[in-house]
């Protein structure tokens, strides 16, 4: 019954917030293809605990966008007073029913990525603490090396390629049958769509879950915050680690400046994970 209520809520919100979302949306170009990826992150790199999110990749002729569905859902609800209220109620409902997984918030990747927008750049929209921020970097392909292995994923024949990118070694399975040089997150430059990509330590794993060519939404620039603070990529990652961007009063109360005892798993090992990009260290 709760699930039905929740779905009704979602449907209701999707109608009432559509008008509001449009105010925050700038259509860049029509989509050629829309892909959905499951993104799994190891919460404890020594253990087995993972968290999961559904990601959307919209590919246009020139640019593409990549984001977590849950993040978009959350943002779109909160840009409308009625949606915000519904969001609050869904949250309450989820908390009351202890069904925490139904809470409307993102889990693994909370950024919006725009490849080749503006031309030759990757734009990332994120937030540091309570500060919305924007990161711009060069749009260049990874230095892919083709490997011998081939396999079939979801009926598409795929070939393996490898690269080292910003502190991690990756293996990507791409299909030349879909001749788009695109993939999840910042991956690009292979002669076919990336169907699956993961780092060799399996801390992050993207797997294609869906493909849609017709009746798709265009590639859109979601401008949920009216203003963004511009910041360099490395500076952003360092700031994430040191919880910058959070009001000093909150920092003080959270004791963010004092080291807290490390969280440990059942085996007594320290629970730790790192970002996708590790070159900030």
Partner 1 sequence: MRPTGMTYKLLLVWSIATTCFSAMAQNNHTAMLKGTVSDQSNGKRLEAVNVLLYAGKGPKMIKFTTTGKEGTFSIQIPDSLIGKSYLQFSYMGYETLQRRTDGSNEWTVKLAAKEMEIREIIVKAPKVKAQGDTLIYDVRQFSKEGDRSIGDVLRRMPGIKTAENGQITYNGIPINRFYIENSDMLEGQYGLATHNLPNKEVGSVEILQNHQPVKALEGIAFSEQAAINLRLKEGAKHRWIGTLKLYAGIAPKEGLWNGQGAFMHFDKKHQNINTLKTNNTGQDTSHELNSFNRNTLRYRNRLLTEYIGITPPYSIGLDRERELMNHTYQMTTNHLFKPANEPDIKTSLTYQRHQEDAMKQTGYTYYESQEDGWNLYEQEESDYTKEQLSATVSTEINKPAYNLTEQFRIDMDWKSRDMNLNGGQANQQHLNSNGKKAVNDLFLLKRKGNNFFTVSSYIALNALPQRFNVQTKDAEVSQAINQKLLFTDNLCGWGFIAGRIVIDLNAGIAGMYKDMDSQLNNAGKDFDLSPTADMTLGHTKLSLTPKLSYTANDFQASLTLPAGYSNYRYETAGQKAAKHHYFSFSPSFYSSWRPGIRWEWFIQGGFSTQDINTRLFYPSDLLTTYRTIQRGLAEFCHTKVTTVNGGVKYNIPLKEYYSKLEVFQSWSAIPYTLVQNIKDGYIHSKYLPGERNIRQTSISGSISKGTDWAKTTGSLQAGWNKSSSYLLRNEKNIKNQLTSIHIEPEIDINPATWMNIRYTLTLDKEWMKVNETKKQESTCSLKQSLRIRIMPSERLNFSIKGEHYANQATGTDSHNFFLADMAFTYKLSKYVSLDGHIANLLNEKTYAYSSLSDEAMKINKWYNIRPRNILIGAYITF
Kindly tell me which residue out of 25, 45, 50, 89 binds partner 1, with binding defined by CB under 8 A: 89
- H helical segments located in 125-265: 233-241, 248-254
Interface region with partner 1, contact rule CB under 8 A, candidates 80-88, 163-171, 198-206, 272-280: 80-88
Give the residue, chosen from 73, 115, 186, 203, that forms a contact with partner 1 under the rule CB under 8 A.
73
User: In terms of CB distance, is 39 or 198 closer to partner 1?
Assistant: 39
Interaction between residue 233 and partner 1 (CB under 8 A): no
In eight-state DSSP terms, residue 100 is G
Tell me if 255 contacts partner 1 by CB under 8 A: yes
Q: What are the backbone dihedrals phi and psi of residue 185, each rounded to the nearest 5 degrees, phi first?
A: 50, -130
Question: Is the Cβ–Cβ distance between 83 and 76 less than 8 Å?
Answer: yes
193 beta partners: 175
122 binds partner 1 (CB under 8 A): no
Q: Which of 1, 4, 120, 179 binds partner 1 (CB under 8 A)?
A: 179
The span of 145-153, 165-173, 198-206, 269-277 binding partner 1 (CB under 8 A) equals 145-153
| CB-CB neighbours of 239 under 10 Å | 19
Q: Is residue 266 part of the contact set for partner 1 (CB under 8 A)?
A: no
Asked if 126 interacts with partner 1 (CB under 8 A), we say: no
Structure-token pair, residue 86: 């519904």
CB of 163 to partner 1, least distance (A): 13
Alpha-carbon distance 27 to 17, whole Å?
17
Residue closest to 73 by CA, chosen among 59, 56, 60: 56
């Amino acid at each position: 019954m709760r699930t039905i209520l929740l779905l009704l809520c979602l449907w209701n919100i999707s109608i009432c917030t559509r008008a509001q979302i449009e105010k925050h949306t700038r259509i860049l170009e029509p989509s050629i293809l829309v892909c959905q990826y499951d993104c799994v992150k190891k919460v404890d790199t020594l253990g087995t605990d993972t968290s999961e999110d559904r990601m959307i990749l919209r590919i246009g002729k020139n640019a593409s966008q990549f984001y977590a569905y849950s993040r978009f859902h959350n943002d779109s609800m909160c840009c409308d007073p009625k949606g915000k209220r519904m969001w609050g109620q869904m949250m309450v409902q989820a908390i009351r029913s202890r069904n925490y997984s139904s809470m409307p918030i993102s889990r693994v990747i909370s950024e919006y990525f725009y490849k080749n927008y503006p031309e030759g750049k990757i734009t990332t929209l994120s937030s540091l603490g309570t500060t919305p921020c924007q990161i711009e970097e060069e749009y260049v392909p990874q230095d892919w090396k083709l490997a011998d292995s081939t396999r079939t994923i979801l009926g598409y024949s795929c070939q393996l390629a490898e690269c080292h990118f910003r502190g991690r070694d990756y293996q990507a399975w791409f299909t030349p049958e879909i001749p788009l040089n695109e993939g999840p997150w910042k991956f690009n430059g292979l002669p076919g769509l990336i169907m699956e990509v993961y780092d060799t330590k399996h801390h992050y794993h993207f797997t294609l879950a869906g493909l849609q060519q017709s009746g798709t939404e265009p590639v859109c620039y979601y401008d949920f915050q009216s203003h963004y603070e511009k910041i360099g990529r490395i500076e952003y990652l360092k700031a994430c680690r040191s919880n910058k961007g959070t009001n000093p009063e909150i920092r003080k109360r959270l004791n963010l400046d004092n080291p807290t005892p490390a969280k440990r798993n059942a085996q007594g090992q320290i629970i730790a994970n790192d970002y996708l990009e590790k070159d900030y260290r």
